[in-house]
Amino acid sequence: MWQKVYDEVKDRNFIVISVAMDSVPGAAEPWIEQAKPTYPVLLDREHRLAALYHMVNVPQAVWIDERGKIVRPTECAGSYDGFRQMDRITKIMPEETAKINAAAKATYAAAVKDWALKGEASEHAFDPEDARRRIPALTESQALAHTMFRLGQALLRQGRTDEGDQWLRRASELHPDSWCMWRQRAGKDDTGLAALPDFWERVDALGERPYHWRVDMKGMPR
């Protein structure tokens, strides 16, 4: 979905690096094959990026300037909680919600493009102090959870599924904010999406808390 932004900025010093947090080999393939992006798509079976950048959901993004400095720390990449109003049988979203969803995505994509074209002059690029303030906090439990997740995936790769899954379960329990850990492990529907009743239960249990972190950007829905 970033192909359009990438194409529109083509001649600048800008690149999209898209990372699939998919632990199951081949799961990401059909999506990559369908989209055929012209920028790098990398496979992150161990969710290394989640550990390094404190990512808890997808899509999340980090903006990194040409000197390798973070100018926007890990944030939701323009998604919105509109899907929570989806009819769970028909999978239809109310029209108004669908509009807000689309507008949020468009606003975020426009901001990425603005930054790609203007660099640090973009209003969306944080100065170091503002960027630093927005680095998400990480707990020791979460750090341990990432380590357990990595161990679990290594065991799964060796075919040691029972023990591997135990470590993945423990990791998710230690890091309940991580939808990446939970959904990676959860049962999937016939399109490969972790959107079975247990997912909806867990989303409902959020109550007023957001599923996607609110993006700190002008024009984003509340």
- Exactly one of 28, 100, 104, 168 binds other proteins (CB under 8 A); that residue is 28
Specify the residue, 75 or 81, whose C-beta has the smaller distance to other proteins: 75
Q: Residue 201 interacts with other proteins (CB under 8 A)? A: no
- Exactly one of 38, 64, 123, 198 binds other proteins (CB under 8 A); that residue is 64
- Exactly one of 105, 169, 188, 202 binds other proteins (CB under 8 A); that residue is 188
Q: Residue 81 interacts with other proteins (CB under 8 A)? A: no
- Tell me how many degrees the CA angle 211-104-93 measures, rounded to the nearest 5: 65
CB of 207 to other proteins, least distance (A): 23
Q: Residue 19 interacts with other proteins (CB under 8 A)? A: yes
CB of 58 to other proteins, least distance (A): 5
Q: Residue 25 interacts with other proteins (CB under 8 A)? A: no
Specify the residue, 96 or 163, whose C-beta has the smaller distance to other proteins: 163
Selection from 145, 108, 131 nearest residue 5 by Cα: 108
C-beta of residue 63 within 8 angstroms of C-beta of residue 83: no
- Exactly one of 4, 139, 206, 216 binds other proteins (CB under 8 A); that residue is 139
CB of 217 to other proteins, least distance (A): 14
Specify the residue, 32 or 98, whose C-beta has the smaller distance to other proteins: 32
Q: How far apart are CA 96 and CA 118, in angstroms?
A: 33
Return the sign of the alpha-carbon dihedral for residues 185, 189, 191, 193. negative
Q: Residue 63 interacts with other proteins (CB under 8 A)? A: yes
Say whether 27 sits in a helix, a strand or coil: coil
Alpha carbon separation from 46 to 63, 102, 152 (Å, rounded): 22, 31, 9
* Residue list 84-103, contact with other proteins (CB under 8 A): none
* Residue list 31-50, contact with other proteins (CB under 8 A): 31-32, 40-44, 48-50
Q: Under 8 Å CB-to-CB from 116, ≥6 apart: which residues?
A: 5, 9, 12, 14
Q: Which part of the chain contacts other proteins (CB under 8 A), choosing from 20-28, 83-91, 96-104, 211-219?
A: 20-28
Alpha carbon separation from 22 to 7, 50, 58, 153 (Å, rounded): 26, 12, 11, 11
Classify burial at 72, counting beta carbons within 10 Å of its beta carbon; exposed 0-12, middle 13-18, buried 19 or more: buried
